[in-house]
Amino acid sequence: MFTSSLPPNGPFVMSIPRMFTIVPLSLTFDHRAVTGGEATRFMGAIIEDLALAD
């Protein structure tokens, strides 16, 4: 399951802006070689591994 690292009320706490480090991720794949489900599971594994770095 994917979860956001932002607090429930967004990047603001009591109207005070907070800074977050964001790493943009994108995935390009050949749909003839892998399915969308496989690509989604792969991206999920990458996200989980990156979250462990916290």
Regarding pTM above 0.85, the answer is no
Q: Give the angle 28-2-9 at the CA atoms, nearest 5°.
A: 120
Say whether 2 sits in a helix, a strand or coil: coil
Rounded Cα distance, 24 and 42, in Å: 16
Rounded Cα distance, 10 and 31, in Å: 34
1-27 pLDDT per residue, tens = 445 555 555 655 566 777 777 778 888
- Residue 13: enclosing H or E segment and its boundaries? strand 12-13
